[in-house]
Structure 1
Amino acid sequence: MTYDGSKASRQGEARGNRTDQLRDRIEQAIISGEYPPGFRLEEPLLAQRYNVSRTPVREALMQLASAGLVEIRPRQGAIVASPTVQDILEMFEVMASLEGLCVELAARRITAEELAELEQVHERCGALAAAGDPDGYYAENRRFHEALYAASRNRFLEETTRSLRNRVAPYRRLQLRHRGRTQRSWAEHGAILEAIRSGDGPGARAAMMAHIAIQGDTFMDFLSSLPPAYIRLGAD
């Protein structure tokens, strides 16, 4: 009996693809809030829901743990990550810097076609803010930010920024549920967009960092709105 290396390679590749696809589906459920922070991700239930064996589920959860979206806790299994207050502060601080760099580069590198598309996304955000639709606004707001990542023309920066954005997604989504926040967010987008139109990189960066930052009374209001499962009081 001879060893068929090509067959084994194809089987390994297929298994890897299944795991990657499953990871992406679970990741999207976390980002959308379907699996909120503190939610227990039970392997048998996930396997049943996604119609796979427990092996790719386990591998997908390990990948998500490496990305910081999931925590593997002793005697509890996999839990959607619930960072400490300090973690949240630090993540938003880094997020503001990364997105600030994205828009500073975008102000110099964005194409006319990309700018036109960004304008359209901004107008859709405005309509959703006026309609008082925070969930619809969140989805369109995400397109606005990701268009700016792409316009930076720096793939490493784009991937790094998107990875961190996924980790703070549940918290950014909750921010938009604060009274009047979608309208303020849209106005802040307008300031960012105006700086990009004029090619003002430093101005775009400053506007974006102010848009992302949570501090002072804003941060206290934000913390008071979080469900208990969303944060830990300190390190385990």
Structure 2
Amino acid sequence: MTETLGDQPVVVAIRDAIVRGDFVPNQRLVEADLSAQFSASRANVRAALIELANEGLVERVQNRGARVRAVSIEEAVEISEVRMMLEALCAAKAAERINDEEIAELEQLGETMRQAVAGGDVVGYSGLNQRLHRRVREISGQRTAGQVLERLRGQSVRHQFRLAMRPGRPSVSLPEHLAIIEGICAHDPERAQAAMRAHLESVIKALREADGDPLRG
């Protein structure tokens, strides 16, 4: 039986803590400490760390236990390139499947994103950004792509958050997100797919620029 933290499996609790940044890259993950922190048995913590290692969030070092895996800019770019292909597929599928209620939801989400950028709420906008991408995946009904994307998101989330915090970045990404919403809500798969690809290409460019190498921009 899977040990839980309330209604939450231990692996989910540790994964969320890594994604939130409670544990920093290369930080050691000591089973005894995690067992106490999450009120879980050592066996369940060990199993959770093995699962997270398979997901790419944790790495196990011989004779030194586990630590949070550091993701380089280059790897974050590679992840974003894979995301671009899969999220473009999901955007096209979402445009085919979306219903009137979901159209209203995405349009309201776009308006809330506008208000967040206008009000300078960068953290709030970052959360809305993640919510939009998640809803596009859900509306698409493409479960396999959605599962892969969720695992990739966890690996690159720190870079995505740092990117979202860069001055001026929300003003760049907002029209890209609104174009995605417009294409999906118009039931136009090609337009939605192109808008999603353009957005992720912009993310990749910004990640490379953040790495300080203008030749990669």
Using structure 1 for the length normalisation, give the TM-score: 0.81
Matched, 1:150 2:144: no
Is the partner of 2:59 in helix, strand or coil? strand
1:85/1:139 Cα in 2 relative to 1: closer, same or farther (>3 Å)?
Answer: closer
Q: Distance in 1 between matches of 2:24 and 2:211?
A: 16
Whether the 8 Å contact between 1:126 and 1:183 is mirrored in structure 2 is no
Residues 202-236 of structure 1, C-alpha deviations (whole Å, 9 max, x = no match): 221121122123445x2333224xxxxxxxxxxxx
Q: Distance in 2 between matches of 1:158 and 1:215?
A: 20
Which amino acid is 2:55 matched to? A
Please point out which of 121, 129, 132 is paired with 1:141. Answer: 129
Whether the 8 Å contact between 1:18 and 1:56 is mirrored in structure 2 is no
Which amino acid is 1:110 matched to? I
Q: Distance in 2 between matches of 1:92 and 1:130?
A: 27
1:129/1:69 Cα in 2 relative to 1: closer, same or farther (>3 Å)?
Answer: same
Please point out which of 89, 112, 137 is paired with 1:101. Answer: 89
1:80/1:94 Cα in 2 relative to 1: closer, same or farther (>3 Å)?
Answer: same
* 1:40 Cα deviation from its structure 2 partner: 2.2
Equivalent in the alignment of 1:48: 36
Equivalent in the alignment of 1:22: 10
1:81/1:208 Cα in 2 relative to 1: closer, same or farther (>3 Å)?
Answer: same
Q: Structure 1, unaligned stretches of length 5 or more? A: 1-12, 225-236
Equivalent in the alignment of 1:232: none
Count of residue correspondences:
209
Please point out which of 62, 69, 80 is paired with 2:50. Answer: 62
Structure of higher CA gyration radius = 1
Please point out which of 30, 34, 57 is paired with 2:22. Answer: 34
1:129/1:17 Cα in 2 relative to 1: closer, same or farther (>3 Å)?
Answer: same
Please point out which of 103, 108, 115 is paired with 1:120. Answer: 108
Identity among equivalent positions (%) equals 34
Q: Structure 2, unaligned stretches of length 5 or more? A: 213-217
1:85/1:172 Cα in 2 relative to 1: closer, same or farther (>3 Å)?
Answer: closer
Using structure 2 for the length normalisation, give the TM-score: 0.88
Is the partner of 1:212 in helix, strand or coil? helix
Which amino acid is 2:187 matched to? G
CA RMSD for the aligned pairs?
Answer: 1.9
Q: Distance in 1 between matches of 2:119 and 2:80?
A: 27
Whether the 8 Å contact between 2:4 and 2:10 is mirrored in structure 1 is yes
Whether the 8 Å contact between 2:98 and 2:187 is mirrored in structure 1 is no
* 1:67 Cα deviation from its structure 2 partner: 0.9
Which amino acid is 2:161 matched to? R
